[in-house]
Each structure stands twice: as structure tokens, then as C-alpha cells.
């Protein structure tokens, strides 16, 4: 008889394409062939289109809206205004931040681009003509776009609807344009330390307003079936279940009669977390007309009206001993929220996790206060490829470290090293109350400095400086350092919810008789590659090859409840649910295997893809055999089938971290910068798919480059958006994108079932500081302490000019 | 981003195109590559009732080089300007400038005629044509006429072209001497923060003829006649080039936009002009 050799454990493991494999993305076959199915690809019978009349001005009373000419146009079916929505109670809607916002302008407009009327017609052409024919008379009011001027005594009152309310969703309001004050930490203790400190650095750090600008803009198709009373909405939703619950609460349609579907999504980056007037208007229009309604933003709508990010003025003070041991941190942030507080944060955190602003450092005492303010700008405040306000916090501390290093006359790499939380201090509770799960910052930092040959870089920089000073060159070199700690994976239900919905997530698995499987999750990929990576987690847990596992997300009628994908929460929360559901499958499989092998459960051990009788390796049952048995054997005390569901409430956040270094050459006369090197070391805990991690890092770094070097949403004093097209809103092409060197250390999260922390947002968080610090570093020997982003040509030129470097 | 309704025409001869323009006056516009026109139509910043596509008119296409005389049809695309080897041999500055226009996708459709006739001060070709002292040939109801590029531009989007005229070709003599087209922009696809074209003909250190023109530094291209006279007949050295640069900057009149304030643009103009002058001198 021939020897049929059983493949080794290693060979069988490799066949699974499980954890740690650079498995190719299963999504790409359809995306690279143009076979994706996005919202705008959805075409339903009898579908009409809707689009907005938007305000051309930033602040005005609406005297009159005349829709007659538009309604008279052939092809236009309806024009909705606030007056039409009011009887339904839908002219305003609640925001995620406990405020409310106008769906359609109710008597006044508060920002340029605000939705004033919704025109419904046969096709986009008829609708565009209809939009042009709606006549709106505006009575303009004074405009405020500066958050500091918004709180002055004579400032125009923006939100007349709540002008007299002294109490907001997050405590007392001190001015009609004031939204909230949020405090964290020890105020008195911090002030005392600052007063007595040997060295204090004091700086205002502005993180400008920008926008996630995904390739696909926001949109939806709403279809109300009047026969069965069921509303189906296909939309660009990063959190489909939350949208279903919110839609039910504000429309009074029972939740079981609402089906939300997120089809393929062309990038989200936080832009698609919020609920926008377009969704509400499309739903109402579908109810009114009885046919499906499609609404899809154009690029200018997207940049002007949906979900900006950042716009934080962060005043900081950091104290240290003369030797460079940090003793305290103080921060006051003025947060410009625009016309409505539509910030997408967990409910109890009006400034998100800004209190991660102590960063990677062991700072004994700290205090943070954030004041939210209304201005005549678009609402939003989303987490643009970062967890809630984490990139602001990280940028703040990484600038403060640089400013402190200047004050101390110390190399900032050394200052960081001196103050990192030490490996043995984990789990570490920060001065502002977070429990960091794990990390080895010194290992990462040393590895990074060695990889770039930091000492040599500083020597090269000094040589270039000499050339500059002697008039032989007009270029300077800057070395940008950044060490970041994120807080992601929101989050534990005890303190994280959105509108009362706990931020757990879920996975449901069904094993088919022939040993393949389908898994459904409460998250939704927008390019992250969930169908690839979650199948890998399962492959390792249940011993079925990743290629035999279908991943499905985004349909609330089939997927288990979850809070969606943003804030790097999918892997920390839904990834954990996936592993836990897999373990339930395995537990039942063990019972089935024991019955089949006629041994006790405890006599079996798991070996990659099978249960083996301890001490008798020739006796085993593979997962494939067990799956079939679960469908055809009557096993006493065991239900047929092999399914499991797990709802995972994470015990803690995860804390990915990393060390990024950028080298930049700057022409002081033209303001043009050239990126010479970008090195990015990430520690995201257990690495599920190294290739996807690398792709995430490349993408996030490119967004970080854009933000720090030119991307902004700018307003003039009249509240006009100056960056409403991609001519002026910087999105890098391959040409502007430098080469990236990626690296890693691996410190698993101790509380996550597979030790993974999430990585999608790290490069944006760490990258912005690295790029911006490089610009600052180039000019530091001439006395520059702080220059606000974005560092586009003219602003860099202005730094040089103000330092007297021009002839 | 949907334009208002218009009637679309695709005539196959200049005569037919002119006749449509005659019928509709300023309600009609011709479309070449469309990269400037279509965005403003989609934003409804202009309302065009009759759109005349010139792409089917064969006589508007092609590059004709006869001795030192060069004639380029208005519908010749930028990619053709870049890839035509004979054109590169006779007027290499055109390739250098064209490669700095937008990106390859735009250059595949963008035409020289559309670029010069639109009157957009941000376009690179108008300055380039002033640099080359080109002549534009226009065809209208009253027949053919010629206008010098240096006299064509009255203000942003205002040109010497009459409503019923079509720019059909551009001609110029092969430039002699060193050349350079230098441009600073924020990113691929962007218009110039500042750009300058220079031609310098130098014999034994003495400048026998010169030409300098600027892009996006005023509401029209700027032909720097003062700097040109400053250089002509003189021994060229760094000092003289600096003085010429200064004179060019004085003739510029940029406006502030998202690229930066006027002070910055004038400073960068000085850098860009000086680089172009030096490169042209090195090549002379």
C-alpha cells in the first residue's frame, strides 16, 4: 500500500491563508475590472432624481422661496422646502453630537452651500434646470468665520433657535455661539506644576480645517414600497445599522420595516459617518412620490457641505525639568464646529478622544479644556482617517514636544526617548484617564532612528545649513520626527455609545455542509479589504481556508447589529467578534468530533484544521468532515447545524503606535519642498495581512502629506468657500506622492482575542506630525517655533520671509 | 454640475462653422478640447445656447513646417505639439512648455487653438505665443484676418476675436538662440503660480535679439518689452539678467488667489524669470 502522507501542520496552515499571510485582496477582481456596485450604479424602475438648491451666502434670513417656475418645468415633479417637511417634523433632525440641524433652511441659512430646497425630477438634467429656476430671496446678515470672534459680545447670533438656551447637550453655554466646554484632568494640579516648573513652553498650535474628500461622494437611493410599507435605502453609510435606528426614530417607520444597504463604498475616511439632509430628503421624496429617489452629491457639494474635519485651535503649555523630564501638560482648545454641532463622536465625548493628547509620554499631570463654537461654516467635525480627534491630539503633543526641545536646547529625538512610557509601565494609566494596553516605544524609536541613520541625517542637515549660510545654496533640510499613540476601537459599551447605541460589534458565521462558510458583520468596508482580512482571522480560528469563506457586510436585513466602520474600530471590535464567533464554532465542532471519534471532548486537541485524539495522531476529524457531520448525524444533546454569533463588547480600547520620520528639502525662495525620505514604523499589534497593512500605510501617509502640505477648506471673511474644487483643494496624484519605507514592531494587545490593534488610521495620525515637523525643523535654527499648516508654497515662503531669509 | 441645455453642432468645414456663428452671434461658442469651457458650462457660469464642435474640421489640424516658417492648425492637440520631432527641432521651447501644461490626459485633448483663443491668463500658450511673436489667423463672416499674439489679449477672457470669428491657425518663425519655459505650480494639473518664457540670441556674449513673456502674472500674458530692450545689444552677465528680471517683475501685475498673495507671486515671478533667463543664456 502506498504511503499517503498527511501534510504537516505547517503545510496545512499555509493552505489556510490565515493570520500573517499577505493574501491578495479578493475585492480587487471586481474593482479593477470596473465591476464594483456603488450607490450611483443602482438603477431602479421608475427612479427619479433629486438635488439641492444651495445657499450662495453664508448667513442670511430667507425672505421668500418661489418654486413656481421650477414646478412648471417639464420633468420636474416636486420641490421640497422646510415648509413641506415641517408637518412631518423633519425640517430639522438630531445630530450625532446632541445638537439638531436643519434638513432644509428653516427661515435662515448659516453657511454657504446649505441645503435650501430639494428638487425632484425625471433625470439629473431636468433637476439641474429646476434647481436653477427656484428663486430664493436672501436678506444677508453679518458673517462670522473666526471662532474667537464668534464669542465676542457684539458677534452676530447664529443659532437663533437656541439663542436663549443656557444649557446644551454637554453642559452650560456661556454665549449664544458657544456650544460646550469639555474638561478632562487635574486643572489645579497642572497649574501648580506649570507655575513651579523650571522650563515651560507655551504655543498656539492650529490644525486647520480640511476634508476627507473620498473619491466617491455621498449619496443614496431611497425606495418606499407602499404595498408592504417597507423602506429600503442604499447609501454611502459607514454605519448602516445606526442609520436604520436613527431613521426609524426620526421617521416613526418601525425599524423592522427599514432596510439599509451599504453597497460598495468608494472611500469614507469619516465623510460617510454622518446623516445628511440628502438622505432625509430622498426618503421623504420617495414617500411623497411613491417611486425610488436617487441623490448623489457632486464634488463641489461634497467639499462645501458634507463633513469637514479638524479646525482646532490648540493652545498648549508643557513643563519640564532643565534635564528634559516632562512634568505637566496643559491645553485649551477652541473647536470651530461650524453652523451645527454635527460632530461624529461617541455621545459622552464632545471633543472625541482629544484627551489622548499626552501622547506616548509619561506625563504626571495634565489638564485639557475644549470649547466648541458655532461659526458660519459647514457643519461636520468628523474623524478624517483617525479615531475621534486623535490626529488633532497627536499633532498637538508632537508639536509641543518640538517646541519644548527648542526651549531646552535638546535634540527632540532624545527628549522623546527620555519621556516615553516604558515597556514595563503597561498597562499604563495616563494623566487624562486612559489605560494604554501595550507598547514598546523605546524599541520602536531606536529601530526607527537606526533605520534612517539619524545621526548622519543631522550631520547632512548641518552641512546643508552651512552651504545656505555661506550663500552657496538656497535650500534647507528639515528632519521631521513623530511618535504617536492612537486610541482606537471604540469602544466599551460602558463609556462609548452613539445616540445611546453601545459601540459593540458583531459577527455571525454559518458553516455549510461541504465545509465552506459565510460570515456576516456589522461593519462595512470602504476600501479596507474586510472580505480579505476577516476571512483570514476566521481561517486561523476554524481551520477553513480563507478562500472558502464569504464575507458579507452592509445589509441590515442580513448582517448582525454593529456600529459600523470608522475610527479604526473594525479590527479591534468586529475582528474580535469574528474570532470569538469562530471559537464558538470550534467549541461545537469539538463536541461533534468527540462523538464521531468516540472519545471524550477533553481527549481532543486542535491542530490547524482538525481535532486530533491526544496521543493518537492518526485519529482525527477535519473541520470539513465535522461540518458535514453536523448536517447528517443525529448527535445526542447537540443541535444540528454549525452556526455561531458573537456580540463583542471590547473591555478596552486598543492603542496602536508608531515612529515616523520624514526628511524634506525646502527652497526658501519659492517655498517649494521636496520630500527626500519617509520612514514609517507601525506597531499595530498582531499583523493580519502585511500587504494590506502596507497599503493602508501608503494611503494614509498620502493623505497626511496632502493635509500638512496644502489641503484645506478655506473661507474668506464673507464665508465664501475658497477651495470648492479640486483645482484648489489639494489631492495628491502619483506625481506628488513620494516613496515610502515601511517597517514594524509587533506588540500584541493583551485584551484582544488575536492581539490586533487596527492600523488604517495610524499613518494619517503619525504622518501629519512628521511632515509638519520637517518643515518646522528646517527653519528652527533661525528661530522658528510654530507656523500653521498647511505648508503650501506661499506659507513656507512667508516663514522664510518673516525670518529675514530673503534678500 | 450639469450645464443648461444647448444645441450641438459638428460642422466639417470652417465655412459651415462660421455660418453657424453668424446665425447665433454671441449665443454660439466653438469648442475645441473643452477643458476650460466645459467646467464653466457645468457650473452654469456661462450660458451657451449653441455649441460648435470643431473636431471634425480636418483643415484645422496639423503642423506645417516650411523652411523657418511654422504654421500650426488650431485643433492640433498639445500631445501632438510634444511628440512632433520636426517641431521640436525647429522650436524646442514648445515641447518644454507643453510638457508643463496640466497632465497627459488633459494634453491628449487640449488644443493649441483653444488654449490661446480662450483668453484665460492662466493658460500657458498665450504667453508662449507672445514669446514667439506668433500671428493668429481668424476666419469670420468678413473673411480672413491676422492678429499678432502680442496684440490679441485685452483682458481676462477679452480678446481681439469677434463673436463670429474662429481662430484657425497660428504661425511664427523658428526662434533663434537659447530658450527656456520655467513654471512654478502647486501640483500636476495646476495653473502657474508664475511662469516665464525666454528666448535669447547671443553672439560672442552680445545679445542680438531677445524675447520674454510671462504667464498668469497679469490679466493677460505679459510681453516684457522693457527688459527686451534692456538686453538687446548688450553683453550678457548675471547682473544684467538680474536687472532684466527686475524689470519683468515690475511689468507684472498678478492677483491674489489660493496660490498666495501678490507679494509672494511677484517674488516667485522674479525667481522663475531669472531661472528662465539663465537657462536660455546657457543654451544660447
Task: Indicate if A124 belongs to the active site.
Answer: no
CA distances, A464 to each of A239, A453, A460 (Å):
50, 17, 6
- Please check whether residues A624 and A707 belong to one and the same domain: no
A553 and A609 both lie in a single domain: yes
Residue A447 lies in a domain: yes
Give the CATH number, domain containing residue A548: 3.30.365.10
Contact between A722 and B259 using a beta-carbon 8 Å cutoff: no
Question: Do residue A509 and residue A565 come from a single domain?
Answer: yes
Cis previous bond, A427, omega within 30:
yes
Give B187's contacts in chain A (Cβ within 8 Å). 710, 730, 732-733, 735-736
Comparing alpha-carbon positions, the chain B residue that sits nearest to A52 is B1
Distance from CA of A353 to the nearest CA of B (A): 32
Out of B2, B190, B260, closest to residue A794 by CB: B260
Contact A797 B5 (CB under 8 A): no
Q: Mark yes or no for CB contact B264/A727 under 8 Å.
A: no
B108 and B156 housed in the same domain: yes
Give the Cα separation of A389 and A432 in Å (integer). Answer: 15
Q: What is the pLDDT of residue A4?
A: 66
A238 assigned to active site: yes
Instruction: State whether A14 and A78 are in the same domain.
Output: no
Q: Quote the cell numbers at residue A382.
A: 468628523
Cβ pair A722:B258 closer than 8 A = yes
Q: What is the pLDDT of residues A491-502, one digit of tens each?
A: 899 999 988 899
Tens digits of residue pLDDT in A212-258: 999 999 999 999 999 999 999 999 999 999 999 999 988 889 999 99
**A173 inside domain:** no
Say if B13 falls within a structural domain: yes
- Interchain pair B189, A299: CB under 8 A: no
How much is the pLDDT for A807? 75
Please judge whether B259 and A125 are an interchain contact, meaning their C-beta atoms are less than 8 angstroms apart.
no
Q: Which candidate, A687, A684, A700, A669, places its Cα nearest to that of A770?
A: A700
Q: Measured in Å, how far apart are chain B's first and last C-alpha atoms? A: 48
pLDDT attached to residue A344 = 87
Q: Which of B143, B158, B173 is the last residue of a domain?
A: B173
Structure confidence by residue, pLDDT tens digits, A435-481:
999 999 999 999 999 999 999 999 999 999 999 999 999 999 999 99
Residue A221 is classified by DSSP as: E
Residue B242 and residue B206 in one domain: yes
pLDDT at residue number A3: 57
* Weakest-pLDDT range from A4-13, A421-430, B238-247: A4-13
Q: Which of A101, A112, A114, A238 is catalytic?
A: A238
Q: Which of A183, A173, A513, A103 is nearest to A354 (CA)?
A: A183
Question: What CATH number is attached to the domain comprising B239?
Answer: 3.30.390.50
Q: Which of A115, A151, A297, A761 is catalytic?
A: A761
Residues A689 and A788 in one domain: yes
Nearest of B144, B143, B196, B148 to residue B171 by alpha carbon: B148
Residue A151 included in any domain: no
- Is B1 contained in some domain? no
3-state secondary structure B141-159: CCEEEEEEHHHHEEECCEE
On whether both A278 and A353 belong to a single domain, the answer is no
| pLDDT digit string, tens, across residues A566-579 | 988 999 999 999 99
Chain B residues lying within 8 Å of A129, measured CB to CB: 4-5
At residue A455, φ and ψ (nearest 5 deg) are -60, -45
Out of B2, B186, B189, the one facing A125 most closely (by C-beta) is: B2
Residues within 8 A of B (CB atoms), A 5-34 only: none
Considering Cα of A457, then A458, then A463, then A467, what sign does the dihedral take? positive
A386 among known catalytic residues: yes
Residues 6+ positions from A170 with CB-CB distance below 8 Å: A98, A179, A180, A181, A182, A350, A372
CA-nearest residue of chain B to A296?
A: B1
Q: CA-based angle A404:A408:A409, to the nearest 5?
A: 115
CA of B1: which chain A residue's CA is closest?
A298
Taking the Cβ of residue A802 and every Cβ of chain B, the question of whether any pair is shorter than 8 Å is answered with no
A:177-206 residues touching chain B, CB 8 A cutoff: none
Domain for residue B2, yes or no? Answer: no
Smallest CA–CA distance, residue B3 to chain A, in Å, is: 8
- Residue A5 binned pLDDT confidence (cut-offs 50, 70, 90): confident
Beta-bridge partners for A742: A680
Considering the domain architecture, whether residues B64 and B113 belong to the same structural domain is answered as yes
**Structural domain harbouring B16:** 7-53
Number of domains in chain A: 3
Return the SS3 of A555: strand
ipTM value of the model?
0.96
- Chain B contact for A722, CB < 8 A? yes
Same domain, B91 and B142: yes
User: Is residue B104 within 8 angstroms of chain A, CB to CB?
Assistant: no
Q: Which residues of B touch A128 (CB under 8 A)?
A: 2, 4, 44
**Does any domain span residue A239?**
yes
pLDDT in tens, A727-768: 999 999 999 999 999 999 999 999 999 999 999 999 999 999
Domain assignment present for B129? yes
pLDDT of residue A252: 87
Res. A427: pLDDT tops 90: yes
What 8-state DSSP symbol labels residue A741?
A: E
Do B189 and A798 lie within an 8 Å CB cutoff? no
B122 in any annotated domain: yes
Answer yes or no: do B63 and B168 share one domain: yes
Please indicate whether, in this complex, the C-beta atoms of A806 and B261 are within 8 angstroms of each other.
Answer: no
CATH number at residue A136: 3.90.1170.50
Asked if B4 has any chain A CB less than 8 Å from its own CB, the reply is: yes
- Asked if the Cβ–Cβ distance from A732 to B187 is below 8 Å, we say yes
What value does the mean pLDDT take over residues A100-128?
97
CB contact under 8 A, A132 and B186: no
Q: Is the model's pLDDT at A41 over the cut of 90? A: yes
Contacts of A268 (CB under 8 A, 6+ apart): A212, A214, A236, A238, A526, A527, A565, A566
A730 lies in some domain:
yes
Q: Is the pLDDT reported for residue A801 higher than 90?
A: yes
Q: Work out the percent of chain B whose per-residue pLDDT is above 70.
A: 100
Question: Do residues B15 and B76 both lie within one domain?
Answer: no
Q: In this structure, are A644 and A670 located in the same domain? A: no
Inter-chain contact A735–B258, Cβ cutoff 8 Å?
no
Note if A385 is an active site residue.
Answer: yes
CA A407, CA A768: separation in Å to the nearest integer? 22
pLDDT in tens, A654-673: 999 999 999 999 999 999 99
Asked whether residue A2 is assigned to any structural domain, the reply reads: no
Residues B153 and B187 in one domain: no
Chain B residue closest in CA terms to A729:
B258
- A670 contacts in chain B (CB < 8 Å): 184, 268, 271-272
Count Cβ–Cβ pairs < 8 Å, chain A vs chain B. Answer: 66
Which candidate from A722, A735, A793 shows the least CB-CB separation from B193?
A793
Nearest to A792 among B44, B186, B188 (CB): B186
Of B4, B184, B258, the CB nearest to A132: B4
- For the cut 70, the answer to whether the pLDDT of residue A1 exceeds it is no
**Overall average pLDDT of the B47-71 stretch:** 97
% chain A with pLDDT above 70: 100
- Whether the bond between A790 and the residue before it is cis, its omega within 30 degrees of 0, is yes
Tens-digit pLDDT profile for residues A155-205? 999 999 999 999 999 999 999 999 999 999 999 999 999 999 999 999 999
B45 touches chain A (CB under 8 A): no
A300 interfacial to chain B (CB closer than 8 Å): yes
Q: HSE of A31 in the Cβ direction (CA atoms, 13 Å)?
A: 14
**Cα angle A508-A514-A519, degrees, rounded to a multiple of 5:** 15
Please indicate whether, in this complex, the C-beta atoms of B264 and A129 are within 8 angstroms of each other. no
Instruction: Print the domain residue range for A137.
Output: 39-141+217-265+273-305
Whether B205 and B260 map to the same domain: the answer is yes
Residues forming beta bridges with residue A294, ordered by sequence position: A49, A221
Nearest CB among B184, B187, B261 relative to A730 is that of B187
- Among B173, B198, B231, give the residue marking a domain's end: B173
A284 & A342 share domain: no
Q: What is the pLDDT of residues A324-373, one digit of tens each?
A: 999 999 999 999 999 999 998 898 899 999 999 999 999 999 999 999 99
The verdict on A511 and A628 lying in the same domain is yes
Q: Which of A299, A732, A797 sits opposite B264 (nearest CB)?
A: A797
For chain B, say whether A380 makes contact (Cβ under 8 Å). Answer: no
Coil, strand or helix at A504 = coil
Q: Looking at the DSSP assignment, which residues form a beta bridge with residue B240?
A: none
State the Cα–Cα distance between residues A119 and A7, nearest whole angstrom: 65
Residue A102 is assigned to a structural domain of this protein: yes
List, in sequence order, every beta strand (DSSP E) within A357-489. 365-374, 380-382, 428-429, 435-436, 475-485
Same domain, B183 and B163: no
**One domain, residues A253 and A111:** yes
Q: Give me the sheet containing B7-9, strands edge to edge.
A: B7-9, B50-53, B28-31
Instruction: Looking at the structure, tell me whether residues B139 and B78 fall in a common domain.
Output: yes
Q: How confident is the model at residue B266 (pLDDT cuts 50, 70, 90)?
A: very high
**Chain B residues touching A722 at Cβ < 8 A:** 258
d(CA A314, CA B225): 51
Judgement on whether residues B66 and B153 belong to the same structural domain of the protein: yes
Residues 183-222 of B with CB under 8 A from A: 184, 186-191, 193
Average pLDDT over residues A711-726: 97
Query: Active site residue: A213, A281, A386, A496, which one?
Result: A386
**Helix-strand-coil percent breakdown of chain A, rounded to 5?**
30, 25, 40
Give the CATH number for residue B18: 3.30.43.10
**Could you read off the pLDDT of B148-158 as tens digits, one per residue?**
999 999 999 99
Q: Do B268 and A670 touch (CB under 8 A)?
A: yes
B165 in the same domain as B64: yes
Tell me what percent of the residues of chain A surpass a pLDDT of 90: 97
Query: Of A305, A324, A358, which residue constitutes the final position of a domain?
Result: A305
Same domain for A48 and A115: yes
**Once rounded to an integer, what is the mean pLDDT over residues B89-102?**
97
Instruction: Count how many domains chain B has.
Output: 3
- C-alpha span between A457 and A685 (Å, rounded): 29
CATH number of domain containing B135? 3.30.465.10
Amino acid at each position: 500500500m502506498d504511503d499517503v502522507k498527511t501534510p504537516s501542520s505547517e503545510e496545512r496552515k499555509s493552505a489556510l491563508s490565515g493570520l500573517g499571510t499577505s493574501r491578495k485582496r479578493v475585492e480587487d477582481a471586481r474593482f479593477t475590472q470596473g465591476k464594483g456596485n456603488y450607490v450611483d450604479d443602482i438603477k431602479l424602475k421608475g427612479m427619479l432624481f433629486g438635488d439641492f438648491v444651495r445657499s450662495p451666502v453664508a448667513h442670511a434670513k430667507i425672505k421668500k422661496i418661489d418654486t413656481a417656475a421650477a414646478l412648471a418645468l417639464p420633468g420636474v415633479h416636486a420641490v421640497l422646502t422646510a415648509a413641506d417637511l415641517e408637518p412631518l417634523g423633519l425640517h430639522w433632525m438630531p445630530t450625532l453630537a446632541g445638537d439638531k440641524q436643519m434638513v432644509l433652511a428653516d427661515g435662515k441659512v448659516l453657511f454657504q452651500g446649505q441645503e435650501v430646497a430639494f428638487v425632484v425630477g425625471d433625470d439629473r438634467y431636468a433637476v439641474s434646470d429646476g434647481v436653477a429656476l427656484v428663486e430664493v430671496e436672501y436678506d444677508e446678515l453679518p458673517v462670522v468665520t473666526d471662532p474667537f470672534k464668534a464669542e465676542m459680545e457684539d458677534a452676530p447670533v447664529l443659532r437663533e433657535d437656541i439663542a436663549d438656551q443656557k444649557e446644551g447637550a454637554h453642559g452650560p453655554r456661556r454665549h449664544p455661539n458657544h456650544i460646550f466646554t469639555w474638561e478632562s484632568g487635574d486643572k489645579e494640579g497642572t497649574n501648580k506644576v506649570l507655575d513651579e516648573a523650571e522650563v515651560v513652553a507655551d504655543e498656539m498650535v492650529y490644525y486647520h480645517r480640511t476634508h476627507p474628500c473620498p473619491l466617491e461622494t455621498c449619496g443614496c437611493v431611497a425606495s418606499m414600497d407602499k404595498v408592504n410599507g417597507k423602506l429600503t435605502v442604499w447609501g454611502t453609510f459607514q454605519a448602516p445599522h445606526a442609520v436604520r435606528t436613527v431613521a426609524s426614530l426620526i421617521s416613526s417607520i418601525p425599524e423592522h420595516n427599514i432596510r439599509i444597504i451599504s453597497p460598495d463604498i468608494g472611500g469614507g475616511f469619516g465623510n460617510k459617518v454622518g446623516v445628511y439632509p440628502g438622505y432625509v430628503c430622498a426618503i421623504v421624496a420617495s414617500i411623497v412620490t411613491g417611486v425610488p429617489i436617487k441623490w448623489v452629491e457632486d464634488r463641489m457639494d461634497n467639499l462645501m457641505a458634507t463633513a469637514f474635519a479638524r479646525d482646532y485651535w490648540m493652545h498648549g503649555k508643557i513643563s519640564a525639568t532643565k534635564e528634559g523630564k516632562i512634568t505637566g501638560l496643559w491645553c485649551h482648545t477652541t473647536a470651530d464646529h461650524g453652523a451645527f454641532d454635527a460632530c461624529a463622536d461617541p455621545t459622552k465625548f464632545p471633543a472625541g478622544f482629544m484627551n489622548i493628547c499626552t501622547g506616548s509620554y509619561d506625563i504626571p499631570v495634565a489638564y485639557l479644556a475644549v470649547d466648541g463654537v458655532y461659526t458660519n461654516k459647514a457643519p461636520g467635525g468628523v474623524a478624517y482617517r483617525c479615531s475621534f480627534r486623535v490626529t488633532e491630539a497627536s499633532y498637538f503633543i508632537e508639536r509641543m514636544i518640538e517646541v519644548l526641545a527648542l526651549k531646552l536646547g535638546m535634540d527632540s529625538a532624545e527628549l522623546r526617548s527620555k519621556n516615553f512610557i516604558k515597556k514595563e509601565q503597561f498597562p499604563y494609566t495616563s494623566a487624562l484617564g486612559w489605560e494604554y494596553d501595550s507598547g514598546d516605544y523605546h524599541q520602536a524609536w531606536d529601530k526607527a532612528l537606526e533605520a534612517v541613520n539619524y545621526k548622519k541625517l543631522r550631520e547632512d542637515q548641518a552641512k546643508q545649513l552651512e552651504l545656505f549660510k555661506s550663500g552657496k545654496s538656497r535650500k534647507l533640510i528639515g528632519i521631521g520626527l513623530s511618535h504617536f499613540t492612537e486610541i482606537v476601537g471604540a469602544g466599551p459599551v460602558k463609556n462609548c455609545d452613539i445616540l445611546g447605541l453601545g459601540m459593540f460589534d458583531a459577527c455571525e458565521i454559518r458553516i455549510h455542509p461541504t465545509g465552506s462558510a459565510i460570515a456576516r458583520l456589522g461593519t462595512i468596508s470602504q476600501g479596507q479589504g474586510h472580505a480579505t482580512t476577516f476571512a483570514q482571522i476566521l481561517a486561523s480560528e476554524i481551520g477553513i481556508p480563507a478562500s472558502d469563506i464569504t464575507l458579507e457586510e452592509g445589509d441590515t436585513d442580513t448582517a448582525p447589529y454593529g456600529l459600523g466602520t470608522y475610527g479604526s474600530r473594525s479590527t479591534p471590535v468586529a475582528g474580535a467578534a469574528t474570532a470569538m464567533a469562530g471559537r464558538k464554532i470550534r467549541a461545537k465542532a469539538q463536541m461533534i468530533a468527540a462523538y464521531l471519534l468516540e472519545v471524550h471532548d477533553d481527549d481532543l486537541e486542535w491542530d490547524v484544521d482538525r481535532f486530533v485524539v491526544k496521543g493518537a495522531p492518526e485519529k482525527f476529524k477535519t473541520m470539513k468532515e465535522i461540518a458535514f457531520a453536523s448536517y447528517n448525524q443525529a448527535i445526542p444533546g447537540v443541535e444540528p447545524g454549525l452556526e455561531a454569533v458573537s456580540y463583542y463588547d471590547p473591555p478596552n480600547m486598543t492603542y496602536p503606535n508608531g515612529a515616523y520620520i520624514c526628511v524634506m528639502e525646502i527652497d526658501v525662495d519659492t517655498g517649494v519642498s521636496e520630500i527626500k525620505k519617509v520612514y514609517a514604523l507601525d506597531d499595530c499589534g498582531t499583523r493580519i495581512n502585511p500587504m494590506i497593512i502596507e497599503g493602508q500605510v501608503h494611503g494614509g501617509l498620502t493623505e497626511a502629506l496632502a493635509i500638512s502640505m496644502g489641503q484645506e477648506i478655506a473661507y474668506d471673511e464673507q464665508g465664501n468657500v475658497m477651495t470648492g474644487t479640486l483645482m484648489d483643494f489639494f489631492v495628491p496624484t502619483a506625481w506628488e506622492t513620494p516613496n515610502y519605507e515601511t517597517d514594524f514592531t509587533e506588540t500584541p494587545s493583551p485584551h484582544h482575542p488575536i492581539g490586533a490593534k487596527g492600523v488604517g488610521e495610524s499613518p494619517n495620525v503619525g504622518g501629519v506630525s512628521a511632515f509638519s515637523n520637517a518643515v518646522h525643523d528646517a527653519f528652527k535654527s533661525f528661530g522658528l517655533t510654530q507656523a500653521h499648516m498647511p505648508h503650501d508654497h506661499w506659507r513656507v515662503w512667508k516663514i522664510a520671509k518673516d525670518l529675514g531669509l530673503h534678500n | 454640475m450639469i450645464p443648461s441645455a444647448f444645441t450641438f453642432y459638428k460642422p466639417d468645414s470652417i465655412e459651415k462653422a462660421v455660418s453657424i456663428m453668424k446665425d447665433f452671434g454671441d449665443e454660439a461658442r466653438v469648442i475645441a478640447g473643452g477643458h476650460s469651457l466645459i467646467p464653466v458650462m457645468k457650473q452654469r457660469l456661462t450660458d451657451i445656447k449653441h455649441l460648435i464642435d470643431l473636431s471634425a474640421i480636418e483643415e484645422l489640424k496639423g503642423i506645417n513646417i516650411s523652411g523657418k516658417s511654422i504654421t500650426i492648425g488650431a485643433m492640433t492637440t498639445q500631445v501632438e505639439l510634444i511628440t512632433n520631432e520636426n517641431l521640436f527641432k525647429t522650436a524646442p521651447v514648445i515641447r518644454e512648455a507643453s510638457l508643463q501644461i496640466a497632465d497627459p490626459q488633459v494634453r491628449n485633448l487640449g488644443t493649441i487653438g483653444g488654449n490661446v483663443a480662450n483668453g484665460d491668463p492662466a493658460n500657458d500658450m498665450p504667453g508662449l505665443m507672445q514669446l514667439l511673436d506668433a500671428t493668429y489667423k481668424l476666419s469670420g463672416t468678413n473673411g480672413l484676418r491676422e492678429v499678432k499674439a502680442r496684440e490679441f489679449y485685452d483682458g481676462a477672457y477679452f480678446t481681439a476675436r469677434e463673436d463670429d470669428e474662429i481662430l484657425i491657425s497660428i504661425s511664427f518663425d523658428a526662434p533663434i538662440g537659447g530658450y527656456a519655459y520655467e513654471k512654478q505650480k502647486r501640483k500636476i494639473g495646476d495653473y502657474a503660480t508664475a511662469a516665464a518664457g525666454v528666448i535669447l540670441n547671443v553672439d560672442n556674449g552680445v545679445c542680438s535679439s531677445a524675447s520674454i513673456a510671462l504667464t498668469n502674472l497679469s490679466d493677460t500674458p505679459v510681453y516684457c518689452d522693457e527688459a527686451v530692450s534692456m538686453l538687446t545689444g548688450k553683453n550678457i552677465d548675471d547682473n544684467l539678467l538680474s536687472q532684466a528680471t527686475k524689470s519683468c517683475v515690475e511689468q507684472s501685475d498678478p492677483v491674489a488667489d489660493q496660490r498666495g498673495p501678490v507679494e509672494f507671486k511677484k517674488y516667485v515671478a522674479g525667481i522663475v524669470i531669472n531661472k528662465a533667463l539663465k537657462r536660455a543664456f546657457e543654451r544660447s
